[in-house]
Amino acid sequence: MANNSYDNRPRRDSTLPGAEEKQFDERVVHVNRVARVVKGGRRFRFQALVTLGDHKGRVGIGIGKGADVTAAVNKATDAAKKNLVDLPMHNGTLTHEVLGKVGGARILIMPAAPGTGLIAGGVVRTVLEVAGFENALSKSVGSGNRLNTAYATLAALKSMEPAEKWITRRFNASKTAEARTSSKA
């Protein structure tokens, strides 16, 4: 076998200082063109809504504005990284049903049986996907504003309690009720 000159070239390796490993799934949910009226006409800028997560229960949402779309997306990504939230998961779904309200948007998210998949639309689906939820049902009631819907989804997910906490509480409540009924007899 002949020794080719291209075999001796330095190889690009992901461990080099310039290469960065992606640890988050970053999704641009919405880009909006906003205008500011000045004396000479309109000045256009862009607003980006980005959600990012690690598919293991961490998710963040950010909004950024910039002169062009890439600047807005970069600012929104930085904002989302600063606002990461850890969420409890139970067998790939939510621990219990939750309701989130922001502005006029109301989002109801419910756990689902394995194999159901994500039955959600638009922004809610994107947030649940990047968070790592595999089975869930959702209903959006009220405003269709994407920003408020995204923040209402995050508010709902933040209000969730870990499964250990509410299962224990339910178990203790049933034991207490059981003890009361046995003491009356």
Instruction: Report the pLDDT value the prediction gives residue 161, as an integer from 0 to 100.
Output: 85
Instruction: Report the pLDDT value the prediction gives residue 68, as an integer from 0 to 100.
Output: 93
Residue count of the chain: 185
pTM: 0.76
DSSP string, 37-74: EETTEEEEEEEEEEEEE-SSSEEEEEEEEESSHHHHHH
Residue-level pLDDT, tens digit, the chain, 185 residues: 455 544 444 444 445 454 455 788 899 999 999 998 999 899 999 999 999 999 998 999 999 999 999 999 999 999 999 999 999 888 888 888 999 999 999 999 999 999 999 999 889 999 999 999 999 999 999 888 999 999 999 999 999 888 777 666 655 666 666 666 666 65
Which domains are delineated in the chain?
Answer: 25-161 (3.30.230.10)
- Cα–Cα distance measured from residue 115 to residue 109, given in angstroms and rounded to the nearest whole number: 17
Instruction: Report the pLDDT value the prediction gives residue 6, as an integer from 0 to 100.
Output: 44
Instruction: Report the pLDDT value the prediction gives residue 91, as an integer from 0 to 100.
Output: 86
